[in-house]
Amino acid sequence: MSKLTQRKSLDYIKKDYVRTRTMPGSWYLSSYKFRFNITHHQPMLEKLKEKKLIANQCSGCNRVFFPPRLVCGQCLVKPDRWVDIRDTARVATYAIAYLKNPDTGQVEEKPMILVQHDGADTCSIAELAPGINVKDTYIGMPIKAHWKENATGGLMDIEYYDPIPDDAKDIE
């Protein structure tokens, strides 16, 4: 941890809000209907069959979205261009998941990663290759998509991400 972040965390004081009023009430979640529109994923899913990645781009701000977005949240317009992106990426951030193996009962550490593909401005959640030690995972780590042998045009065509050599000069 750098000196700066260390100081910041020491100075942090959680604000304690005084509870002024409590209202009785309930929120009937089951009365809501959710509908997910993923029709804008279709061109990307088609390309997955060829083990290629495409993203959509907003003509307002030029941001490239992978996975594709229905609407650009900044410009509030539909991204109207499709662009090719690489299947290489970087670990934008990661979290350690503690998963209990149902067979052995043992708790295993597994890094869950946020992936930013080269050429994309947004991220997606994925897994690293099995057996990668959490301690070897870092932000900025170069990775590459590990494709399923027979891609079917589904979101699981990328099974996980393999680490690739890091050419950064300061890594040692």
| Residues forming the site for Zn ion (CB under 5 A) | 58, 60-61, 72, 74-75
The region, left, alpha or beta by phi > 0 then psi within -120 to 50, assigned to residue 3 is alpha
Least distance to Zn ion, CB of residue 72, Å? 3
d(CA 99, CA 71): 35
Least distance to Zn ion, CB of residue 74, Å? 5
Least distance to Zn ion, CB of residue 120, Å? 14
Count other Cβ atoms within 10 Å, centred on residue 41. Answer: 16
Least distance to Zn ion, CB of residue 102, Å? 44
Least distance to Zn ion, CB of residue 76, Å? 8
- State which residue, 74 or 93, has the beta carbon closest to Zn ion: 74
Report the amino acid identity of residue 86. R
- State which residue, 61 or 155, has the beta carbon closest to Zn ion: 61
- State which residue, 54 or 91, has the beta carbon closest to Zn ion: 54
Buried b (16+ CB within 10 A) or exposed e, 10-29: eeeeeeeeeeeeeeeeeeee
The alpha carbon of 19 is separated from its chain's Cα centroid by a whole number of angstroms, namely 36
- State which residue, 58 or 145, has the beta carbon closest to Zn ion: 58
Which pair of tokens denotes residue 73?
A: 């949240």
- State which residue, 72 or 120, has the beta carbon closest to Zn ion: 72
The region, left, alpha or beta by phi > 0 then psi within -120 to 50, assigned to residue 44 is alpha
